[in-house]
Structure 1
């Protein structure tokens, strides 16, 4: 699985935060430096009041013990500066010292609260990352003649998981691939995505034909929604069976050779086929209703036959890719970008799209982005 990398500025800031002792040392040297400069300046210019900035900055960057160390240096420096300026014992000095003590006490408390919240955020992110690994299991790098890669980017980077989903299953000579996008946002979308993935894994284990598998997938998914409603009638889960659905594409690809590849589209953006530098949109002749809404139509899902020759690459994606906009409001032209990357292996292809998408948008993503790439190797 390919993940987005933070920018250089974020990496540099993270590295700095990993060395709190260096930050503490720098802030403890601040009042010492101000004390030396203060003694060299003319009497009308005094730098003692600036020393209170050291504890205030320490509250932002240092752990509580580091703040205490900065305070232990700052207070003597303030006293020495006042003595050197013949202000020691004056009413103004005692006002400044009282203000400094209040700032120091607040700095220690603020640092302690910040450190607790950082620990809570770290634990939350760890849980989110485990949840992502459980829901979106890493794809094998290859199955038979197929090379595979995936990328998942949550719009909320702190959450690390969202409503997009994908899964791959080997069913004995053929590979079934699911990519989908749960309707809605937040925890409700994550919950919906988990039900689809669970239903997909159960349905593929039955090893029936593709049309039977997707029928089971629809029924199992809706049954899970009904169970969630019955189990939690007074929570947000109660609305899932009535409001939640998932657009998806299911593919069945032979592991070896160039046998028939089958596709069922449940109202999802169509896959793109990259072959000999040309990009073909695998638009379905007809779409089935999104998963969860099959009872509204009643029609049997239409199985499409698509061409996936040796040497070609299939790209599956969610609408977060093609609906990403630049600052001018233009959508990301995915199909137009792909010919320039036609020769790339799946993982390199997804990395190129990811980097280009970030540059195109120029800011944070507004929707989850998920892509799966499959390449069929040419026979030796």
Structure 2
């Protein structure tokens, strides 16, 4: 039981003993207990308040009608508070169930990314604007395939469940195509065809799809998305502007432009940051956008998780504690040979 309602009762008793008629304020005890306790706690506080009211009325020699009126009011307030507490508890249980379902859906949709994939260290930070839902229209995935490590970061137009459904569609097609298709453009093509069949005329998805087919080289396809940030081993931060801009996924038939590969050198110690516009369009109280490139330059390190944690904290401080749009950050770093952990040999079973 929370002690605050009991403290309130003690204060009322003290004031009544010192002087004055404070008995009606005993009803504050069970009323306050409704916000902090379950029905049993409310009942306990109400019975305590009624007992104290009867004792104080008897000691003070109050007229018979006054203690009876106070006790009747206390019982009524206790009953109403107990009902309010039961309804509050029911709503909390429903909300907890919704959160659990949302968290399960998030893990199924945005599967956890391991800290190390092939020759890369990886870190992800994701924040949904709908804090209670924990999922939104931003998407990311990273999968090791026979054709090298492949990843996608994207942003679905719109909000709510339709955006989540579209994100699930994109990620499902990407995970399958990334493993099957040797050509990264073919992966993008399969996502485009799937969206063309399932999206409305005004719906689309901006995305960056990247792959690491051979050592030292990245392939990038930018479909109307914010340019990734390339961070050199020295700490220099450069925006990777698309050399051949392509329309967002789902709009190729309207734009008539096909995406093309962009090749980037990617040496040991280099890092690539992919993000959604919820990061770069986050504003402070003066309506200033968050300077992502400058923030990354301030906090870049050899540990992607530490870098993103610092950037994410700075981003939240910039907006005053809560983002108003979904935001995703995925940072990839090429490890040195010494940093890569060799696979342990399998132990043969003894005969």
Matched residue, 1:64: 39
Matched residue, 1:132: 106
Deviations 1:165-186 (A, max 9, x none): 0011212251111000000011
Does residue 269 (structure 1) correspond to residue 226 (structure 2)? The answer is: yes
Distance 1:171 1:307 in 2: 20
Matched residue, 1:98: 72
Deviations 1:312-367 (A, max 9, x none): 11110000000000000000001112222222411111101110011111132110
Does residue 53 (structure 1) correspond to residue 28 (structure 2)? The answer is: yes
Distance 1:319 1:154 in 2: 12
Aligned CA RMSD, in angstroms, stands at 1.6
Contact 2:23 2:70 in 1 (8 A): no
Distance 1:379 1:164 in 2: 33
Aligned counterpart in structure 2 of residue 371 of structure 1, from 315, 323, 329: 329
Q: How far did 1:212 drift?
A: 1.4
Q: Which runs of 5+ in 2 are unaligned?
A: 339-351
SS state of the match for residue 370, structure 1? Answer: strand
Aligned counterpart in structure 2 of residue 249 of structure 1, from 202, 208, 225: 208
Aligned counterpart in structure 1 of residue 123 of structure 2, from 144, 149, 154: 149
Distance 2:149 2:311 in 1: 24
Q: Which runs of 5+ in 1 are unaligned?
A: 1-20, 226-239
Contact 1:167 1:177 in 2 (8 A): yes
Contact 2:273 2:330 in 1 (8 A): yes
Matched residue, 1:184: 158
Does residue 308 (structure 1) correspond to residue 263 (structure 2)? The answer is: no
Distance 1:321 1:36 in 2: 55
Matched residue, 1:83: 58
Contact 1:32 1:77 in 2 (8 A): no
SS state of the match for residue 123, structure 1? Answer: helix
Does residue 74 (structure 1) correspond to residue 31 (structure 2)? The answer is: no
TM-score by length of 1: 0.85
1:101-116 to 2 correspondences below 5 Å: 101-116=75-90
Deviations 1:52-93 (A, max 9, x none): 111001111101111111111111111112222222413x44
Distance 1:64 1:344 in 2: 53
Contact 2:213 2:219 in 1 (8 A): no
Distance 1:163 1:193 in 2: 6
SS state of the match for residue 197, structure 1? Answer: helix
Distance 2:336 2:278 in 1: 31
Deviations 1:184-229 (A, max 9, x none): 0111111111111111122123232111121112112333x1xxxx
Contact 1:165 1:197 in 2 (8 A): yes
Contact 2:147 2:179 in 1 (8 A): no
Q: What count of residue pairs does the alignment treat as equivalent?
A: 337
Contact 2:284 2:319 in 1 (8 A): yes
Distance 2:56 2:309 in 1: 57
Deviations 1:1-56 (A, max 9, x none): xxxxxxxxxxxxxxxxxxxx3x1x442354245324522x13xx233222111100
Deviations 1:286-314 (A, max 9, x none): 22111111211233211111222211111
